[in-house]
Amino acid sequence: MHTSDSDSVFLDGGDPNAGSAVMTVVSAHHEELVIVTVQGSIDVLTAPELSAAVEAALSGQPRGLIIDLTTTEFLASAGMTALVAAHEAIAPTGLFGVVAEGPVTARPLQLMGLDQTLTLYPTLAHAVADMTGPE
């Protein structure tokens, strides 16, 4: 897997020396997939950073996009909106999946009924295996 990009959003307006990161986004390539890993909180302040990372990831026209929320600590409605937009941006030709398990990520997506629209995976390994398997 090749890590290509990392961005952080900070509470204090962007000075990395003055505050702690609310969200970190790292993009990595695995075969024809791009994996966007989000650590921290996805809310109204940080969702645009996720959207920008998705836009950058899709610029290379990958076969599929996985958004890994394994280390996400908070998922607000703005984050869910960004996930739906990411799905719409790659559909219908590309594969899309969200790694979400547990009360912080999977539960809100299920409560909003987004598990009916987005493909959810319990682990990154499950997502990669499903998307790199035979077509």
Q: Which residues of 8-17 are buried (b: 16+ CB within 10 A; e: fewer)?
A: bbbeeeeeee
Three-state SS at 106: helix
| pLDDT at residue 9 greater than cutoff 50 | no
pLDDT digit string, tens, across residues 15-59: 444 344 589 999 999 989 999 999 999 999 999 999 999 999 999
| pLDDT at residue 1 greater than cutoff 50 | no
In terms of C-beta density within 10 A (0-12 exposed, 13-18 middle, 19 or more buried), how is residue 130 classed? middle
Quick one: pLDDT at residue 107?
A: 96
30 CB-side CA count, 13 A: 19
pTM summary value: 0.84
Quick one: pLDDT at residue 7?
A: 53
How far apart (Å, rounded) are the C-alpha atoms in residues 14 and 131? 35
Quick one: pLDDT at residue 121?
A: 98
Q: Which residues of 28-55 are buried (b: 16+ CB within 10 A; e: fewer)?
A: bebeebbbbbbbbbbbeebbebbbebbe
| pLDDT at residue 78 greater than cutoff 60 | yes
| Distance, C-alpha 86 to centroid of its chain | 8
* CA proximity to 128, closest of 63, 45, 50, 53: 63
